[in-house]
Amino acid sequence: MRYDIAVIGAGVTGSMIARELAKYNLSVVVLEKENDVAMGSSKANSGIVHAGYDARPGTLKARLNVAGCAMMPKVASELGVPYRQNGSLVVAFCDEEMAAVQELYARGRLNGVEHLYVLGREQLFSLEPHLSPAAVGALYAPDAGIVCPYSLTIAAMGNAMDNGVELKRNFPVMSLADRGASFEISSPGETVEAAFVINAAGLYADRVAAMVGDGFFTIRPRRGEYYLFDRSIGNVVRQTVFQAPTAMGKGVLVTPTAHGNLLIGPTAEDIDDKEDKKTTAAGLEKMTLAAAKSVPGLPLNGVITAFTGLRAVGSTGDFIITQSPTHPRLIHAAAIESPGLASSPAIAAYVEAMLQGMGVLTHKRREFNPYRAPIPCPGKMGEDERYSLIAHDPAYGRIVCRCEEISEGEIRDAIRRNPPAADTDGVKRRVRAGMGRCQGGFCLPLVTELLSAELGIPMDQVTKRGPGSEILSGPVK
Amino acid sequence: MKRENRTIHVSLVVVGGGPAGLAAAIRCREQGIEDLLILERGPRLGGILRQCVHSGFGVHKFNEELTGPEYADRYIDRVRELGIPYRCDTMVTDISADHVVTCVSEEHGLTRIKAGAVILAMGCRERSRGAVRIPGTRPAGVYTAGTAQLFVNLKGYMPGKRVVVLGSGDIGLIMARRMRLEGAEVKAVLELMPYSGGLKRNIVQCLEDFDIPLLLSHTVTEIHGENRLTGVTIARVDENLRPIEETKEFIDCDTLLLSVGLIPENELARAAGVELDPVTGGAVVDEHRETSVGGIFSCGNVLHVHDLVDYVSEEAEIAGESAALYLKGELPRRQTVAARAGNGVRYVVPQRISGGGEELRLFFRPDQVCRGAMISVSSGGELLRVRNRRIVTPGEMESIVLKEEELRRVHGDITIEVGLKS
């Protein structure tokens, strides 16, 4: 099959780019090596829409972060994604750290961050009463926000697919070859052709680049370990609380999530293995101690899960969004580490502009629909609305996940709507069944059954996250 | 969906149709309360007993060994005989302090039930891998023992073939045997504490009879495998329960079952403003099993985690009887004193008692293994009652009865202690 454009990688970068390209009269395919979208850095990060004071002035990071932060409210609302502009604080715990805060303030001004304030102790505590009494002041960025990173990715891809983009999963790109008029892209099972290629392969973007001889950058994973707490303590802080950078590093954050949980982390450890997503006792202990510097006394018995995310740190220090120097029909969108999530709408627009400059994007599709209605969420509805919904479709009245109050109707939607959930983790990320305090103890068997019925496969072929991760080993004797 | 009144009125709502809810509803009905309703979130009455196909239930209550479903059927038959109404596949989403119970179901949509009294019988949930914070990767193959039990016994599927069990609570022991009986290789049962958290009879019948090793003072320190579990690292722990580095050992397995504690499911109780006991995770109740919110009662595993269903039923009968008295305006209202856990005791239920009335049974859980134990109950500095026991363990709930004469001597808070017999 020959496409106009192939996007390699269905993380937040690839998915947002795909959605942008769906506005044009082009055939677009997204190639993803995993069983679902958002399986790399996009599913395991802090979920922060940074305001843009952190990146070095003049860099792409600085420019796209400030632009992306401004675009996010509209994008999130079009895509029906949980987003909250909750503001962020960079907290100082001594006078020296206040100097670092002042520096960030100045940098933010240079980057064009419009609303930035340096707060004294009293103002800080009126915003966040549970901070450590050692806090002396902070940088306050009211435009910063929180967004659910995998919901954003899923919705962007879903919207792209609804507008005609094709998604191929379990398509690990093993070779990329320039055949002159088009590229040939092969996985072990299939080969597709595309006139233009966008490399949004995350941690593996350097390997994809190397397939055509581009060796001008490398990507190294930076591990970050997190704890996620139950929603019962999700309101300990309202803003995202960072720590002022010190000689010891950037510190860890304490933040509410877009779903109302509390998140602490991450550690920052440069490693070589691009798949090493294990959590460690030492890392989590260190991270917990560091978080206690901001908010002491967080109850560890409120932890519902731990996870590790890998940031795709590039060798140039900046985002690498550029045409390949040797193959101009290939665009790299690589090294999208923090603030990559915040920047993602602006990255997509930037790539769009590059392709326009190349004369690729000429005809807009009039029927493009930027909206994606979220899956109904009866647990969050008022009583009348919920009653009517169940009257209309009783499956929304059958609760499957009791912790998050998720109904069979929502799970069915997750399995049917673009991009369809194909495994239990995919259901969890789309509608939160299994995301609550019992972590799927009660609903996993029910979700497994629903997947089996909807996909028309036996129970023991249902997986957690694609081939090789089967939930069950087979029928009983 | 049936179109009908969205608000209904009943005398009593029982939240949960497991062993506690069933026994409470039956007793309340037998006390003359006609108008009650059981709400069950599962597809059938019986609660977790439906998946407990092993025997050993009912030894105290019926003097015979029943399976879980057989035990439940005794009560379900009685519910039907008495014509007690119930709704299955019905999830309660809110309970207010003034007894409005909101529930959701496919059949009825959303219903608000204005109740004279409410009995909380929601049971408990299992502690998850995240809650015990085991580091490592996040593969398929790590399940709580109860989830595995449901897969095997109700769905007919095996969660895996080479199994390690962490935690020697009763469900873990039962599942070790169940997996072995279904042809799986059960490599070991690990227990963090130097003693098992399960019943002695289960250790003998589930592990020793099948030569499954029980490794006390051991834990899992890391989970391995990208997609499906490939093994666990285990280690012995020191007296502070910290893993000892040099004892670390890799065990090849594709399944890790967790039996690492049960947590009463009290999110609804919290919503109703019911005071909770931080140690039990259940409501603070008086001897009538009435919570801090008048007319809301609690019983079974949502009140505190029991070892035997027989005691759940007994406790539920107390709650059912009390709810009936409450609805008739006959529940005695006296001053209460606190019943406290002293040395050697983790918690006491009920936490408040009125000190009057006839005899009263206090339930408590020892906080460590004690051989040659002396249990003492005192009030206001005066010793009310002493009992000797050959051995007490945290895995087995204890109880002690205060007689009418002893209750008359209650002046001030009651304390239960466990010490060595001198």
For chain A, the domains span 84-146+220-310, 378-461
The better pLDDT of the pair A436, B362 is held by B362
Give Cβ neighbours of residue A366 (< 8 Å, ≥ 6 apart).
none
Residue B135 near residue B163, CB atoms below 8 Å: no
Reading the block at residue B104, the tokens are 């959701």
Cβ-based neighbour number of residue A296 at 10 Å: 12
Reading the block at residue A204, the tokens are 């593996």
pLDDT for B131 equals: 86
With CB atoms and an 8 Å threshold, state whether A470 touches B140: yes
DSSP SS3 for B419: strand
With CB atoms and an 8 Å threshold, state whether A460 touches B110: no
CA dist A76 and A86 (Å) reads 14
CA dist B54 and B65 (Å) reads 10
Strands B66-67 and B86-87: unpaired
The gap from C-alpha B162 to its chain's centroid, in whole angstroms, comes to 29
CA dist A351 and A336 (Å) reads 13
Reading the block at residue B139, the tokens are 């593969």
- pLDDT tens for B122-165 read 999 999 998 888 999 999 999 999 999 999 999 999 999 999 99
- Please name the residue ranges forming H helices in B133-224: 145-150, 170-181, 200-202
On the question of pLDDT at B1 being above 80, the answer is no
Cβ-based neighbour number of residue A162 at 10 Å: 17
DSSP SS3 for B63: coil
The answer to whether the Cα torsion of A203, A205, A210, A214 is positive or negative is: negative
pLDDT for B127 equals: 94
- Please name the residue ranges forming H helices in A338-474: 340-357, 383-392, 408-416, 424-431, 444-455
Contacts of A391 in chain B (CB under 8 A): 1, 3, 109
- Which residue out of A447, A452, A476, A477 would a mutagenesis test of the B interface target, given it has the greatest number of B Cβ atoms within 10 Å? A476
- Which residues of A have a catalytic role annotated? 50
Reading the block at residue A245, the tokens are 């950078």
Domains of chain B by start residue, with CATH: 7-125+263-327 (3.50.50.60), 128-260 (3.50.50.60), 337-420 (2.60.40)
Q: Map tokens 């009390």 to a residue.
A: B322
Residue A330 near residue A197, CB atoms below 8 Å: yes
CA dist A443 and A445 (Å) reads 6
The better pLDDT of the pair A349, B368 is held by A349
DSSP SS3 for B243: strand
What does the CA dihedral B323, B325, B330, B332 come to, rounded to 10 degrees?
Answer: -60
Residue among A261, A260, A226 at smallest CA distance from A45: A226
Contacts of B254 in chain A (CB under 8 A): 473
Q: Which of A279, A300, A472 sits opposite B135 (nearest CB)?
A: A279
- Which residue out of B3, B87, B91, B248 would a mutagenesis test of the A interface target, given it has the greatest number of A Cβ atoms within 10 Å? B91
With CB atoms and an 8 Å threshold, state whether A473 touches B221: no
pLDDT for B3 equals: 66
With CB atoms and an 8 Å threshold, state whether A449 touches B106: no
Contacts of A476 in chain B (CB under 8 A): 152, 156-158, 182
Residues of chain A with pLDDT under 50: none
With CB atoms and an 8 Å threshold, state whether A476 touches B152: yes
DSSP SS3 for B17: coil
pLDDT for A251 equals: 83
What does the CA dihedral A402, A405, A408, A412 come to, rounded to 10 degrees?
Answer: -120
What is the distance in angstroms between the Cα of B319 and the nearest Cα belonging to chain A? 25
Cα separation values, B411 from A368, B263, B379, Å: 78, 33, 6
Reading the block at residue B175, the tokens are 């599942």
pLDDT for B4 equals: 66
Band (B356; pLDDT cuts 50, 70, 90): low
CA dist B80 and A223 (Å) reads 58
Backbone angles phi, psi at B174, to 5 degrees: -60, -40
Residue among B71, B73, B67 at smallest CA distance from B55: B67
With CB atoms and an 8 Å threshold, state whether B139 touches A464: yes
- pLDDT tens for B289-346 read 999 999 999 999 999 999 999 999 999 999 999 999 999 999 988 888 999 999 999 9
CA dist A93 and A247 (Å) reads 14
Residue among A275, A22, A36 at smallest CA distance from A153: A36
Reading the block at residue B171, the tokens are 């469900």
Residue B40 near residue B21, CB atoms below 8 Å: yes
Residue B377 near residue B402, CB atoms below 8 Å: yes
Q: What is the mean pLDDT of chain B?
A: 95
Strands B109-120 and B100-105: antiparallel
- pLDDT tens for A273-315 read 999 999 999 999 999 999 999 999 999 989 999 999 999 999 9
Q: Map tokens 């039923």 to a residue.
A: B313
Q: Map tokens 């204005």 to a residue.
A: B114
With CB atoms and an 8 Å threshold, state whether B106 touches A390: yes
Q: Which of B1, B135, B137 sits opposite A390 (nearest CB)?
A: B1
Strand partners, B136: A279, B223
Contacts of A307 in chain B (CB under 8 A): 138
Q: Which of A307, A437, A476 sits opposite B182 (nearest CB)?
A: A476
- Enter the ipTM: 0.94
CA dist A173 and B213 (Å) reads 47
Residue A118 near residue A140, CB atoms below 8 Å: yes
CA dist A340 and A338 (Å) reads 5
pLDDT for A371 equals: 98
The secondary structure of A265-311 as a DSSP string is E---EE-S-TT---B-HHHHHHHHHHHHHHSTT--GGGEEEEEEEEE
With CB atoms and an 8 Å threshold, state whether A475 touches B129: no
Contacts of B130 in chain A (CB under 8 A): 228, 303-306, 439
CATH superfamily of A378-461: BFD-like [2Fe-2S]-binding domain (1.10.10.1100)
pTM (2 d.p.): 0.95
- pLDDT tens for B49-95 read 999 999 999 999 999 999 999 999 999 999 999 999 999 999 999 99
The CATH architecture one would assign to domain A84-146+220-310 is: 2-Layer Sandwich (3.30)
Beta strand ranges found along A46-122 (DSSP E):
48-49, 83-84, 88-92, 117-120
Q: Which of B93, B128, B182 sits opposite A477 (nearest CB)?
A: B182
Residue B315 near residue B289, CB atoms below 8 Å: yes
Residue type, B132: V
CA dist A52 and A69 (Å) reads 8
With CB atoms and an 8 Å threshold, state whether A472 touches B158: yes
Residue A153 near residue A15, CB atoms below 8 Å: yes
Cα separation values, B199 from A263, B46, B299, B308, Å: 38, 22, 21, 9
CA dist B345 and A219 (Å) reads 56
CB burial of A37-67 (b: ≥16 within 10 Å; e: otherwise) equals bbbbbbbbbbbbbbbbbbbeeeebbbbbbbb
Contacts of A467 in chain B (CB under 8 A): 227
What is the distance in angstroms between the Cα of B67 and the nearest Cα belonging to chain A? 19
